[in-house]
Each structure stands twice: as structure tokens, then as C-alpha cells.
Structure 1
Amino acid sequence: MSANSRRTAALLRDRTRANRAESRARRAAATAARRVRTGPRSLATHIIATGASLDVVAGAADALRAQARKAGIRGRAARIRRTLNGRARRVVTVYRYTVEQVAQIVATYKPRKAEYKAIRAVLAAA
């Protein structure tokens, strides 16, 4: 195999990997958007539905959670089994928020980071 064909194969492999990752992110956002339309979901799911990158989702969700506490907005409680260290499944109470509740939370949210501002704009428009 020549160096040129190895380079071409590597290029195609990298392009395929990138396309697959982008497709996975798009599919996750579309699934989250569908779920948000059908009922209450976690704040992270609402943020994923905006199409935000997955590396900022946790930080933005934490910030919105703090704003929800300040505003006194409590979502609907749900009990889930959370896997811990790959083994134990502890029962944890989580909260699910409707689109209207998220809009109320976002109304008081004043982010500083550019990514969070973009997320706020999309959530406020919804």
C-alpha cells in the first residue's frame, strides 16, 4: 500500500468518523426536541433540544437549576434508579419541567458566557 493511498484511507476514515459524530449529535437534539414537546423533561433535555454542544449542557443545566430554586419553580418529581460506579442503583428524586416552566426560569436567567446566552435565546423563543 502506497503512502498516498494510506493518506487517502486515513482522510476518508476521519471524515466518516466526524460525519458519524455530527449525525449522532443531530439525532440526539431531534429526539430531545420531540420529547420536550410531548411532556415534562429534565433541564438538560430542554438544553439538548436547543442543539447546544454536549460539553456545555451540564453547566447550563446547573445554572438553570439554580435559577429555578431562586424563582421557586419546582418541576414534577420523578424517581429514577441512578447507576453508581457501574454497579449500585440508588433511587434518586429528579425533577421534570414543562416548556412553560422553563420559559419562566429563563426569564430570570442572565448568563455571561456566549454559549449560555445562545441557549437562553433559543429557550426563551420556544
Structure 2
Amino acid sequence: MSANSRRSAALLRDRARTNRAEARARRAASTAARRVRTGPRSLVTHIIATGAPLTAVSGAADALRTQARKAGIKGRAARIRRTLHGRARQVVTVYRYTAEQVAQIVANYKPRKAEYKAIRAALAA
């Protein structure tokens, strides 16, 4: 195999990997958007539905949880079984928020980071 053909094979492989990653992100965002429309969901799901980069999701969700606590907005509690640190599935209480509740939370949210500002604008829309 020549050096040229190895380079072109690597290029195609990298392009395919990138395309699969982008498709996975698009699929996650569209699935989350559909779920948000149908009922209350977690703050993370609301943020993913905006198409935000996955690196910024957890930080923005933590900030929104803080704002929800300050505003006294309680989501609907749900109990799930979650695997934590490779241990047996433990029962955890999570909170789900409607789109209206998220809009109220976002009204009080004043982020500083540019990517969080973009998430706030998308959630407010």
C-alpha cells in the first residue's frame, strides 16, 4: 500500500467518524426536542433540545438548577434507578420541568459565558 493511498484511507476514515459524531448529536437534539414538547423533562434534556454543545450542557444545567431553587420553582419529582460509580442501581429522585417552568427559570438566569448566553437565548425562544 502506497503512502498516498494510506493517507486517503485515513482521511476517509476520519471524515466518516466526524460525520457519525455529528449525526449522533443531531439525532440527540431532535429526540430531546420531541420529548420536551410532549411533557416535563429534566433541565439537561431541555438544554440538549436547543442543540447546545454537549461540553456546556452540565454546567448550564447546574446553573439553571440553582436559579430554580432561588425562584422556588419545583419540578415534578420522579424516582429512577441509576447506576452510580459502577455500583448496583440506586434509587435517585430527579426533577422534571415543563417548558413554562424552564421559561420562568431562564428569566432569572444571567450567564456570563458566551456559550451559556447562547443556551439562555435558545431556551427563552
Give the gaps of 5 or more residues in structure 2.
Answer: none
Q: How many residues align?
A: 125
Alpha-carbon distance in structure 2 between the residues aligned to 1:124 and 1:71: 16
- Alignment correspondent of 1:61: 61
TM-score by length of 2: 0.99
**Offset of residue 87 of structure 1:** 3.0
For residues 1-50 of structure 1, what are the alpha-carbon distances to aligned partners after superposition, in whole Å with 9 as ceiling and x for unaligned?
00000000000000000000000000000000000000000000000000
Match in the other structure for 1:114: 114
User: How much does 1:82 deviate?
Assistant: 1.2
Following TM superposition, the consecutive aligned residue runs of length 4 or more in structure 1 with deviations greater than 4 angstroms are: none
TM-score scaled to structure 1, two decimals? 0.98
Q: CA deviation at 1:85?
A: 2.2
1:21 paired residue number: 21
**In structure 2, what is the Cα distance between the partners aligned to 1:112 and 1:87?**
37
User: Deviation of residue 88 (structure 1)?
Assistant: 1.2
Partner of 1:87: 87
- Structure 1: gaps (5+ residues): none
Q: Which residue of 1 aligns with 2:35?
A: 35
Q: Give deviations 1:39-84, integer Å, cap 9, x for gaps.
A: 0000000000000010110000000000000000000000001102
Superposition CA RMSD, Å: 0.5
